[in-house]
Structures are given as C-alpha cells and as structure tokens.
Structure 1
Amino acid sequence: MTNEHENNPQKLKQKLLEEYQDKTLEDLDYGEEIETKRGSCYRFTTHEKVEIKTLKEKKVNECLIGDLKLIKGIGPSKERKLKENGFITLDDLRDHPSYGTSACELLEKLESRDVCSLSDWISTRYSASHHLNLLLSSLSGAEKMLFMDIETLGLKDVPLILIGVAEGNKDGLTINQYLLRNLKEEKATLDGFLSHQNSDNVYVTFNGRSFDVPFIKSRMRFHHMDEKINSQHLDLLHFSRRQWNDQLPNCRLQTLEKHFFGFERCDDVPSSKVPEFYLTYRETGNIGPLVPIIEHNREDVVTLAKILSLLHHCSDLKD
C-alpha cells in the first residue's frame, strides 16, 4: 500500500474494493475458521520478532522495598523522618511497633512474587499509572503479558468487529486476531479471546482501562457470558503521558510510533472509519475494506509491546 490514499478514506475504500473483488478470506495469509464452544469465527495468527524488555528482578525489589509509603499511615513527610532515624527499607520496619505488621505482610507478598496481591496493594496507595505498577510488570515476565486491542462498530452498546491479542515468548510475539464475519459470531469471537487468559496474565493496552476492557465486559454481559476478565492491567496511555507528555505534541499511539520507532502507517484506515469499512464488507461481501482493519489492529498490538519495552528502558535509565 502507498500513501496516496492516506487522507482520503473513500478513495482507499474504492481501491480496496477493486483490488479484492474476486478474493475471499481464505486468500488472506495466516487465517482459518475455528470452532469454539460458542460457535465459529475466523482467526488470523501471525508472529513478530519483537524483543520485550523488562527490568531485572533485583532492581524491582530494591524499588519496592525502598518505598516506605507503601505502608498505610506513611506519607512523604513520615517517610523522610523514618529514614532519618535509620528505617531505610521495609526490612528495617519489620519490628516497628506501628508499621511492623504491615511491612512483614508486604514483604511476604514480595518474597512469594504474588504479583496480583502486590498490584492490589500498590493500587491502594498510588494511582494505576504509578511508576511502581510499571516496575511490577517485570516480575510477571513477558510470557504472562497479553497485549490486547479491539475494533468495534462504535463507542457503546454495539458489537465488536475484531479482537487482537498478542502473547510474548522467547521469539517475540504470537498474535491472534479474532474476526466476526457476521455479527452472529460475536460470542465465538469473545470465547476465542478468553481462551488466552489465565489467572496470572496481565493485560497490556492503550486506553484499555477506559475503553477496551469495559467494552468487552459489556458485550459479555449482553451475551450472558459469566467468565471473568483479569483485573491485572497495564494501560500504557497513562504511563506514556507520565513519561513523555512534555516532550511530544500528544501521546497518541501513532505519534509514539512515528517519534520513537520511525514507523508511519501507509493507507491506514482511521479509527473513526472502521465501522463504515466493516459495514461495506458486510453489505458487499468484498473483503477489501477488512484488510486495513486487520492490519491496523495487528500493528496496534505490536506497538504496545514496543512501547512497554521502551518504558522499561526509560525506567532503567531513570533509576
């Protein structure tokens, strides 16, 4: 694809309709129909060589143990006074008459690498986008992260179109994208997505705390699906704003792509036009308008892994 249609979605759509008029989904690479316990849908599986960088466990432990404010009742002023009196780490608080019990409880969670409980603990003291939550993700390990992005027919109370989920492994990312060929396949698509989840996973999204996860939960309620979505969640939009808000014109995903990775998308379908492109596919049976939606979603989840690695790298430099 080229840049000539970048600012004209209608021309792009017409080009795609002409280019793919005699093709079917089976002509696209890496796709297949799959069966789930709730019916069939279509899945694309691809791989991407991306190094997912995390911080060393020793460094994460040092940052957590050195933050006395993780204990209820200790604020910045109290922490300063405690450190002046020799209570430098949580270990030093073990026998403290007021804070010893809480310090021991937190240290036990850290020693057992209970990431879920640690995340809940940190969230009672800090915001979800606090630096310590980013550090904590390193304890989970890349293999437990699910990089996730969705495409939908609108902002609320409408069906999904596509769910992309990427899993980290030693070779990079394995990306699975679950597509609704028609709106009756939404339950099967959700089921396919949920098959990647287990109790140890951490979702990694971009604005997913406000949009993607609530949207999926809403669609699951609509279909009376009682599975639970994991509470462990890194929303990279908020971490990106903390890190780069004063350096960039904005912290949109594609701005970060262009600035940090030198990547500029060609013939990308704007998010606002995704419903229109999908509905054209449904009305005509022509897969052309689907192609940039699938590629847009795939590029989004790959970029999530790159941004997370960059945030960890910045944390390494800062600390």
Structure 2
Amino acid sequence: MQGADLISVSQRWQSRIAASPDYVIVPHDNVFRMGMHSSTIGESTFEQFGRYLHELCTRYSGTLVEDAIPGTVLTTDEGKCYCIQSTEPIHLTGPLPPDPLLKQEMRLVRGIGPKTAVTMRERGCQTIPDLRHHRMYINRADHVLSVLESGPAGAGYLIRTRLGPSHPLGLIASEGFDPAGFRFIDLETLGIFGRPVILFGVGCPDPDGLKIHQILLRDISEEPAALCVIRDLLEGASALVSYNGRSFDWPYLQERCAYYGFDPLPELPHIDLLHYSRRFWKGIIPDCKLSSIERHFLHIGREVDIPGMLVPEWYIRYLETGNCGPLVPIVKHNQQDIASLVHLLNLLRRKARECC
C-alpha cells in the first residue's frame, strides 16, 4: 500500500471503531445481565475508567508521544514505526537434556491408550524403551524414542498430538529449548479479527533478563512497518510463548500480514500457557484470565489496569485528539503481560514436575 492509501485506511478504521464499541455497559453492575453478553463492563467500572481517562488526558495535554513514552523511531522498507524497549530481571532455566519422564509415558506410542498402558505395566513394561522388546510395538517405540531425542520441538508436537495441548509433559519438554530462542508475544488490537494491531509486544530473553520490545503505532498507517520489525524480532526464534496466542495472537498476526500482501511469518513451536493454566486452576479460581492468575498465584498486583475491551476506544481517543495520555496505560498493560508470561512459564514448569 502507498502512503495515501494507508492514511485513508487509518481514517476509515478510526470512524468505524468509534461507531461500534465491542462491549456492553451493564447498568447498576447487574451481575445477571452481565452473563447475557460476551463482553461486558459494569457501569461503575466504566465510570471509574472514564474518570481515569480524563485524568490522563489532563496530565499529558500537550505532551508528545515520544516524551511521554520514551522510545526509538525505526525505519523499515515499509516506513517508520516507534519501538519502546525495557528490560525485566527475569530468567529461565535451560536448555536441559531430554527428561527421563518423557520416556515413561507409554501413551505416546500409537496404539497404546490408558487401559493398554496399565496392562503393559502389569506385564512388566514400565517405559517406552521396554516396549522395544514387544513384537507389536517395537517399531512404534523406536519412532517415539527417536522423536523424543530429536529435540524439544518434536517432543512437544508429539505430546500435544497424542496427549493434548495441556498435558504437563509438554512443559517439561519445553525445558529442552534454549531460553534465548523463546519469543513471548502479546498484542493489543482494535478488536476481534480483521482490525489493525496497535501495539505489538515481543519479549526476548538475554543474559540481562527479558528484553521487551513494544512496537506502538503512533498512527494506524505505521502497521506495515511494525510488521516488518516483528518479522525481524522473530528471526532465529525457536519457539513462541503466549497466553491464548495459538488461537488469537498468532493467527491475528498472520492475518495482518496477509492483509498487506506480506509473506506469512514462519511457523514455530507454540507454547500456549492458557491451556496449562486451565488444566491446573480451572474451577479453583473464578476465571483463568492472565490478570487472575497474576493475582492468585504470581502475587503480581496492577495498580490501575485498563480492561482490554476499552483499548480500542482509548486508542481512538488518542487519534482524535492527539493527546497521548490514553496510550500510557495501554503500553504498561502490554509490558506487564509480557513479563507475566515468563513468571507464569516458570511456575507452570514447577507445577508440571509436581504432578508427573
């Protein structure tokens, strides 16, 4: 797309989002009516954040984005975009050799389900290597062992396809990755699929901790340039880590690339922490939102955290007024999401070892 076309697209999205918010305000915070809509916000909460928005706009009136949120202007083949960098002192272990626990799960072998696994153990077969002495399973066992030895990507795929995306062994297999190859991703968008991404968050582990790159669109026309930067950040990555990213963030990124006629981003092993969180904590806490996991298990508290459903409206407020105040909490929200993914991965790995 040419510059004039991108500006036109930006203006159309601005008017479209303003005219059709993706949430319903529930009068008097009626909990029964909240269940009638997929995306709701209580009247008191909406008013509270309305006051907060007013405070932000007053505080940052006349302030440039670059002054309120320090960053760097990056130049790509598709134009310029704005990158904010920060570092969190969080570290991951690894890479570790293949864990013996993986070879104890005989259900990884095709044709062996829960009942057959019990029967085989009663007959003296305790591990996958033991199955190599069984005429029916020798070839299948050899195949599984070769996959497990091939590395964490193959092992993770095998575990997901045979045991499901939330099986704890997937977390144990992920310890075989070099942490430097992880990319922790989180997006802030103007709504559900088909709308622009306004903030791309990518966390990259390095010796100093977690380096967080946030590509903020000062205007929607900067989205193609931002996608170029994301492609560069993913170069050399060995795996993605997200929270519901397998269903939302990653397909969304690919859709935005397709929208601009870009080549698809390279497919990578994807560790979606939402699946594991639901396995461990569904029914124990009211919901499995990342903010709930933070509060109950990571002991992370956010002072004022903007609800995701308000992000499009606040961003449009910034576009309409030029006041960067609404952007500040959006950037902080995304930054905390990325940092929390690392804390959560560490916690889930410990939980996986406790139950395996």
Query: TM-score scaled by structure 1?
Result: 0.91
Aligned to 2:213: 176
Aligned to 1:26: 66
8 Å CA contact 1:205–1:304 kept in 2: the answer is yes
1:38 aligns with 2:78: yes
RMSD: 2.1
Aligned to 1:111: 149
Aligned to 2:197: 160
Query: Partners of 1:185 and 1:256 in 2: how far apart?
Result: 33
Q: Which amino acid aligns with 1:76?
A: P
Select 1:225's aligned residue among 239, 255, 262.
262
Aligned to 1:16: 56
- Pair 1:173–1:47, CA change in 2 (3 A): same
Q: Describe how 1:140-151 pairs up with structure 2 within 5 A.
A: 140-151=177-188
SS of residue matched to 1:92? helix
Query: Partners of 1:307 and 1:97 in 2: how far apart?
Result: 43
SS of residue matched to 2:126? coil
> Residues 221-280 of structure 1, C-alpha deviation per residue, up to 9 Å, x if partnerless?
111111334241111111111111232122111111111233221222211110111111
Aligned to 1:124: 161
Select 1:284's aligned residue among 304, 321, 331.
321
1:207 aligns with 2:212: no
1:159: Cα distance to partner? Answer: 0.6
Select 1:307's aligned residue among 320, 334, 344.
344
Aligned to 1:98: 136
Aligned to 2:4: none
Query: Partners of 1:256 and 1:241 in 2: how far apart?
Result: 10
Q: Which moved more, 1:229-238 or 1:193-202?
A: 193-202
- Pair 1:137–1:87, CA change in 2 (3 A): same
Query: Partners of 2:211 and 2:78 in 1: how far apart?
Result: 23
- Pair 1:204–1:161, CA change in 2 (3 A): same
8 Å CA contact 2:258–2:264 kept in 1: the answer is no
1:70 aligns with 2:138: no
Q: Which moved more, 1:21-30 or 1:274-283?
A: 21-30
1:118: Cα distance to partner? Answer: 2.2
SS of residue matched to 1:151? strand
SS of residue matched to 1:8? helix
Identity among equivalent pairs (%): 35
1:37: Cα distance to partner? Answer: 2.6
1:29: Cα distance to partner? Answer: 5.1
Query: Partners of 1:105 and 1:270 in 2: how far apart?
Result: 47
Structure 2: runs of 5 or more not aligned: 1-44
- Pair 1:73–1:39, CA change in 2 (3 A): same
SS of residue matched to 2:191? coil
1:57: Cα distance to partner? Answer: 3.5
Higher normalized contact order (CA 8 Å, seq sep 6+, divided by chain length)? 1
Query: Partners of 1:161 and 1:61 in 2: how far apart?
Result: 40
Query: TM-score scaled by structure 2?
Result: 0.82
> Residues 45-84 of structure 1, C-alpha deviation per residue, up to 9 Å, x if partnerless?
1000113356x846x5211100111011011111122222
1:256 aligns with 2:293: yes
**Paired residue total:** 313
8 Å CA contact 1:25–1:31 kept in 2: the answer is no
> Residues 140-163 of structure 1, C-alpha deviation per residue, up to 9 Å, x if partnerless?
132222111000011121111001
